[in-house]
Structure 1
């Protein structure tokens, strides 16, 4: 062997170079790990400035080994990121390597892969490397310098300068920080932190993935309204908000005076901001929340405030009283408070005013009015809206709130005041109390006298009208002012992701001639489809805007009520996942609705067409599920009105040019009062396969009826099969029970549409199937509300309950044509409207 080496001097030189390179890496810490050069337990990467270190570590009293990044030069180890937090190495035999496909791979002593990254790299190369920056970011780079993966995109529990907390609803990206289980175990704990998925720019902490524990309050450009300490902008804290146009927002921050600082979500759910004292290497706490009961989300319930200096801590707002006197007296404040006296505007009186509540953390679920310029205009805006319960004018705009005020914290030195609307009797305005007492009887007498006179004068015309059946079309006859007197199009949106929309704008009225011109006189070549009450056409306005024109059939006996319903509702609702109403046309017997044109038509055109199913990959399907959930949440909770859709189905989900979903067809929708939970009806309308059992059989509908329909939609989207028409001949099962049986047998992946292929996120698919099954449970009380559904969809680590057997879903008849028939249930004859 020695003779061979001497006779090959080039081989000797090459061996010495390799050996010296290895010795150099082992003896001198570097910030770069070359490809195929293992980093073994005991070796370190150190950032160029010496701020951060990467290597193997053992947390607390644990016997396991983890790969992590921590601050150097601190008195105690301060780990900011962990690679294999769920899969530790059991001994000190682990090694970390950048492999030929550009992935970082952690293996144990037996060569088993313990953890690895997933990058977009597919081709083998010899130029990949790993870099540790002075910001604490670990980045994988290709030979051309392109970053293919970085730890800042996959945080654990620590928010560092240069990182972002991001919400991107279009790309489905949402940054979530997850606490350690305990100081000895870095595996994911019970708490997560991220941005409000509804786009309010607030930072939330959730417990168990769905229970809201704490919120930061609104961001004012300098800090959050619920956090009292040094303004965040002094730390370089910034918000980039383009949620309306581009669908994303994010927070980031830079260091203050080159100080070293961090935000950590602790294992107990507390978010702590700390700064390093470099002389001692000790961390000092700058701020932490929540640390008392009043900082916990909605601790005192609705319409109540919490103050740590009061005894008891919870008290009802002025003008409100406990919803349950017994529970409140026993110290159970979760039920909150209700108004003692209704607002005067609800009784068509004008005595409402405001009482000031100073130094508070502003309530949740606010509506930002961007066009309001001063406090007086903000007050007038709330006073003129009967659905507005309170307002606040701040240095960052006008905020209003709906009927229920949630999560109010009385701060010792807060800088924001809010004004709560109360009736005159609660304000002590005795000068106005006489108004209803004196004026109301006078008005009643005047109305009765006027009606008697009109009856006497027009008795013949009224008699003829009654004999001719009333002609419901007359509701829409007359000029614009007459129409607006009968249908109220005004009113601000209570809250939604489109914060500045729906604030009292007039709904344009089009002439029949202009619509006929736009649709080439309703040409068959422009026909997009047809529904139960008429045809839909594509049109082009003179300015070049494409529109969808819904022309109600004159022969439809039910179309008038549905038309009125749709105009009233959609004119008041504005949300990115609801179809936008542009205007309407009412001339003679013509009743026409003009919508935004959505080029991809409806979801069922893709989902149930074998030639188009493959174009819906899993990422697109999941985005559609999330979008429908956000739209439904807006209808149920966040809009100015509480809406039950009653006809949620695939054909009523329209898709825009980027395949984002929009809920359409509100002809069967119903408005719910704030204190209503369910309603009974003798006229059951909807579509077989999507109707909940209690609605189809007993005529009882509620928001949980929509949840059932949503669950059916989720299972249809995952499977690519229509519930109405699916029947498993071997097992005598419809689609819902087939999904449930596969779930119970642990075979849920067999339920996934084969056209999706294998490129899908398995945990995400299983989570969607489980959510779908939770939504179609037979008992309404077992189904989750939509706010819980959106949280479950957004959280990767949520622990979901086990679903019970689903309610029935008729599915044998494969026809999906429009038909109507009646049957009797509980001695009541009802009409069923089937799918369009």
Structure 2
């Protein structure tokens, strides 16, 4: 692992023959391929590149933290931190994390998105070089431009691709004295220019990176990343006129075709409970779990304010047509101040079955309250069952109690929903069950933070501690809701009951 000095320097992990992972170039704040660096409040990172020297280093701001950066024989790199309480090294960060962390899996002008299936797509204005290979999930050939650039006639423009790791900068050129507007002008004046971006985003975007070759190793992030501006031909004026005329002449035909499609969709609508249900294989469920985890991580650590949702539950997770999860309904959310870690409230609101014990019983909520709710969701997604209202006849336990019982008996795979089938990665499912149980531990200090959860879910090599007893696993009838204060309110079904007082 080291710094590749050609073009705009970037951190890489390599064998003697090839690159395994590219951490991207330094953008003044972090390496563009490691967007989570901006959340590392305990570290200070420095990158120096001048005529005399080039180096990268980090400082630990808290002397009580012990950390080391290692490269393993299996081709991974990890940052480890020492946990005094458990006397063990914990994986704080690692790479590569997912298939998109491989070097250019989608080829030239292809963009990799680990949350999509398939994970590769072409930039706007490009199509696959080999459609047959792409259909077989081999996208390494990349994409080709649909319309040639028209630099000489000045009809070219740019498409901003947000939240990305910048393309490979080995052959890029850098000018730190230019503004971003000057960078754009320079790119337009160079008929070989394919992309430009800011070199330093620490303050006002300054510096200029110019690409004149194919764009490789592009990937999307759910947070962080930069916005390169990829060139696209806008076409000739004659072409625009031809499109408008074609649309006017074809309006009637479009209406007829649209009506036929609408009727066909109505016939298929009744058969969609089954189609969507069948789509919930393990891969889809794992992507939903990871998406929710990343969303919570953003609320807790990456947003401008620390936000506690307080009502995280299955009905507040929306799925789009690609089954990408979105956290919704922030009516009960609370914003924490910069130095706040937990708050005590006399009015408990939320949904019973998802609320952490310390919140339901004592009105104390923190990020760990959301972590508990997330753990319940993970176990529900894996099992296909709800925590509230589902009892297992043998011991009259709810879902958390049932999962804990199976864990102690070393039979936790019996928790997996039968509709998933028999073919699924057992190690990945086992890791998700273990993370779910870690999140629902009774004591909030035992539960991991969402940053640790994301790392544990995505790492095959992370050492996970054994979970302790979950909260609220008592048998039916042993938990008395009437013992709670009169100012508390719960959801006894799928709906949420909030406080009566105006907010």
TM-score (ref. length: structure 2): 0.50
In the alignment, the residues of structure 1 paired with residue 400 and residue 115 of structure 2 have an alpha-carbon distance, to the nearest angstrom, of 37
In the alignment, the residues of structure 2 paired with residue 773 and residue 790 of structure 1 have an alpha-carbon distance, to the nearest angstrom, of 14
Map 1:287-436 onto structure 2 (within 5 A): 396-399=199-202
Report Cα offsets for 1:115-137 as digits up to 9, x if no partner.
xxxxxxxxxxxxxxxxxxxxxxx
Match of 2:338, SS? coil
Residues 1:722 and 1:812: Cα distance change in structure 2 (over 3 Å): farther
Query: Could you tell me which residue of structure 1 aligns to residue 350 of structure 2?
Result: 686
Query: Could you tell me which residue of structure 1 aligns to residue 397 of structure 2?
Result: 733
In the alignment, the residues of structure 2 paired with residue 727 and residue 805 of structure 1 have an alpha-carbon distance, to the nearest angstrom, of 18
Q: CA deviation at 1:685?
A: 1.0
Match of 1:643, SS? strand
Aligned residues of 2:437 and 2:470 also touching (Cα < 8 A):
yes
In the alignment, the residues of structure 1 paired with residue 201 and residue 115 of structure 2 have an alpha-carbon distance, to the nearest angstrom, of 21
Aligned residues of 2:342 and 2:366 also touching (Cα < 8 A):
yes
Alignment partner of 2:21 out of 165, 180, 184: 165
Alignment partner of 1:651 out of 315, 318, 323: 315
Aligned residues of 2:115 and 2:287 also touching (Cα < 8 A):
no
Report Cα offsets for 1:522-568 as digits up to 9, x if no partner.
xxxxxxxxxxxxxxxxxxxxxx9xxxxxxxxxxxxxxxxxxxxxxxx
Query: Could you tell me which residue of structure 2 aligns to residue 624 of structure 1?
Result: 288
Runs of 5+ unmatched residues, structure 2: 1-12, 24-69, 82-87, 97-107, 121-162, 166-175, 182-196, 208-220, 228-257, 259-271, 496-503
Query: Could you tell me which residue of structure 2 aligns to residue 804 of structure 1?
Result: 468
Q: CA deviation at 1:830?
A: 2.0
Report Cα offsets for 1:285-305 as digits up to 9, x if no partner.
xxxxxxxxxxxxxxxxxxxxx
Q: CA deviation at 1:209?
A: 8.8
Query: Could you tell me which residue of structure 2 aligns to residue 710 of structure 1?
Result: 374
In the alignment, the residues of structure 2 paired with residue 811 and residue 624 of structure 1 have an alpha-carbon distance, to the nearest angstrom, of 30
Alignment partner of 2:416 out of 736, 752, 761: 752
Aligned residues: 294
In the alignment, the residues of structure 1 paired with residue 109 and residue 72 of structure 2 have an alpha-carbon distance, to the nearest angstrom, of 23
Residues 1:663 and 1:375: Cα distance change in structure 2 (over 3 Å): farther
Aligned residues of 1:649 and 1:713 also touching (Cα < 8 A):
yes
Report Cα offsets for 1:366-424 as digits up to 9, x if no partner.
999xxxx999999xxxxxxxxxxxxxxx95142369xxxxxxxxxxxxxx9xxxxxxxx
Question: Which one scores higher on RCO, CA 8 angstroms, separation ≥ 6?
Answer: 2
Aligned residues of 2:396 and 2:476 also touching (Cα < 8 A):
no
1:634 pairs with 2:298: yes
Query: Could you tell me which residue of structure 1 aligns to residue 339 of structure 2?
Result: 675
Query: Could you tell me which residue of structure 1 aligns to residue 215 of structure 2?
Result: none
Residues 1:774 and 1:618: Cα distance change in structure 2 (over 3 Å): same
Q: CA deviation at 1:829?
A: 2.5
Aligned residues of 2:180 and 2:198 also touching (Cα < 8 A):
no
Q: CA deviation at 1:662?
A: 1.0
1:770 pairs with 2:434: yes
Map 1:692-703 onto structure 2 (within 5 A): 692-703=356-367
Map 1:400-479 onto structure 2 (within 5 A): none
Query: Could you tell me which residue of structure 1 aligns to residue 223 of structure 2?
Result: 497
Residues 1:374 and 1:735: Cα distance change in structure 2 (over 3 Å): farther
Residues 1:656 and 1:159: Cα distance change in structure 2 (over 3 Å): farther
Q: CA deviation at 1:720?
A: 0.7
Alignment partner of 2:76 out of 192, 197, 203: 192
Report Cα offsets for 1:556-594 as digits up to 9, x if no partner.
xxxxxxxxxxxxxxxxxxxxxxxxxxxxxxxxxxxxxxx
Aligned residues of 1:726 and 1:812 also touching (Cα < 8 A):
no
Please identify which structure carries the higher strand content: 1
Q: CA deviation at 1:697?
A: 0.9
Match of 1:211, SS? strand
In the alignment, the residues of structure 2 paired with residue 691 and residue 375 of structure 1 have an alpha-carbon distance, to the nearest angstrom, of 53
Match of 1:768, SS? helix
Q: CA deviation at 1:682?
A: 1.5
In the alignment, the residues of structure 2 paired with residue 750 and residue 239 of structure 1 have an alpha-carbon distance, to the nearest angstrom, of 44
Match of 1:727, SS? coil
Report Cα offsets for 1:493-543 as digits up to 9, x if no partner.
xx9626579xxxxxxxxxxxxxxxxxxxxxxxxxxxxxxxxxxxxxxxxxx
In the alignment, the residues of structure 1 paired with residue 386 and residue 364 of structure 2 have an alpha-carbon distance, to the nearest angstrom, of 24
Alignment partner of 1:789 out of 423, 429, 453: 453
Report Cα offsets for 1:777-802 as digits up to 9, x if no partner.
00000000000000001111111101
Residues 1:376 and 1:672: Cα distance change in structure 2 (over 3 Å): farther
Aligned residues of 1:210 and 1:792 also touching (Cα < 8 A):
no
In the alignment, the residues of structure 2 paired with residue 669 and residue 210 of structure 1 have an alpha-carbon distance, to the nearest angstrom, of 31
Aligned residues of 1:636 and 1:642 also touching (Cα < 8 A):
yes
Residues 1:610 and 1:703: Cα distance change in structure 2 (over 3 Å): farther
1:742 pairs with 2:406: yes
In the alignment, the residues of structure 1 paired with residue 467 and residue 223 of structure 2 have an alpha-carbon distance, to the nearest angstrom, of 30
Q: CA deviation at 1:823?
A: 5.5
Please identify which structure carries the higher helix content: 2
Residues 1:689 and 1:613: Cα distance change in structure 2 (over 3 Å): farther
Map 1:75-94 onto structure 2 (within 5 A): none
Q: CA deviation at 1:705?
A: 0.4
Aligned residues of 2:354 and 2:376 also touching (Cα < 8 A):
yes
Residues 1:690 and 1:375: Cα distance change in structure 2 (over 3 Å): farther
In the alignment, the residues of structure 2 paired with residue 641 and residue 374 of structure 1 have an alpha-carbon distance, to the nearest angstrom, of 34
Q: CA deviation at 1:615?
A: 2.9
Residues 1:829 and 1:246: Cα distance change in structure 2 (over 3 Å): closer
1:179 pairs with 2:72: yes
Residues 1:646 and 1:213: Cα distance change in structure 2 (over 3 Å): closer
Aligned residues of 2:308 and 2:336 also touching (Cα < 8 A):
yes
Q: CA deviation at 1:239?
A: 11
Match of 1:830, SS? coil
Between 759-768 and 158-167, the greater mean CA deviation after superposition: 158-167
TM-score (ref. length: structure 1): 0.31
In the alignment, the residues of structure 2 paired with residue 374 and residue 620 of structure 1 have an alpha-carbon distance, to the nearest angstrom, of 47
Q: CA deviation at 1:741?
A: 1.1
Query: Could you tell me which residue of structure 1 aligns to residue 129 of structure 2?
Result: none
Rg (Cα) greater in structure: 1
Query: Could you tell me which residue of structure 2 aligns to residue 832 of structure 1?
Result: 490
Residues 1:630 and 1:730: Cα distance change in structure 2 (over 3 Å): same
Residues 1:178 and 1:739: Cα distance change in structure 2 (over 3 Å): farther
Aligned residues of 1:646 and 1:668 also touching (Cα < 8 A):
yes
Match of 1:769, SS? helix
Residues 1:727 and 1:213: Cα distance change in structure 2 (over 3 Å): closer
Report Cα offsets for 1:788-821 as digits up to 9, x if no partner.
00000111111110111100058969xxxxxxxx
Query: Could you tell me which residue of structure 2 aligns to residue 39 of structure 1?
Result: none
Q: CA deviation at 1:214?
A: 8.7
Alignment partner of 2:384 out of 687, 709, 720: 720
Match of 1:654, SS? strand
